[in-house]
Structures are given as C-alpha cells and as structure tokens.
Amino acid sequence: MLLRENIPATYIFGNIKVEIIMVTLYATLIAVLYNNFHITRISIPIAVPTILGTVYINIIGL
C-alpha cells in the first residue's frame, strides 16, 4: 500500500491495544505458571497469535 505519509504508530497501537494487553497477560500467566509451579505441559492455542497477526496485517494493509 503506497501512501504519501507514514501511518502513525499511535494509530496502529490504538487499534490493537486490547489484543496486545490480552496477549501480554496470557504470556505472563504462562510464564508464572511455568516458573513457580513447574507445569511443563503448557500449550498456546493457535488462535491467539493468529488473531493478533490478522488484525495487524489488516491494519497495515497487506
């Protein structure tokens, strides 16, 4: 997508702010469970990074 001006970073992060917060909280929870309780059978659902990636790609217009 060709533009005369760059898309501001605040616009991109403003649109996906909730998703970034949710993924960060999820990753933090997984790290705490792994480090404190030694849970080794933790799997991340494929939907979490897929949704975030889809939103980001749609925003930048690829």
Q: How far apart are CA 54 and CA 45, in angstroms?
A: 15
Give the per-residue pLDDT at 42. Answer: 67
Q: What pLDDT score does 30 carry? A: 83
Question: Does 3 fall in a domain?
Answer: no
- Alpha carbons 35 and 1: distance in angstroms, whole number: 43
Q: 30 with 44: CB under 8 angstroms?
A: yes
Asked if residue 4 belongs to a domain, the reply is no
pTM of the model: 0.52
Identify the domain containing residue 18 by its residue range: 9-60
Give the count of domains, the chain.
Answer: 1
Identify the pLDDT of residue 25: 92
pLDDT digits (tens, 9 = 90+) for 3-62: 778 878 888 778 788 888 888 898 898 888 888 887 777 676 778 778 878 888 888 775
23 part of a folded domain: yes
Determine contact, residues 16/8, Cβ cutoff 8 Å. Answer: no
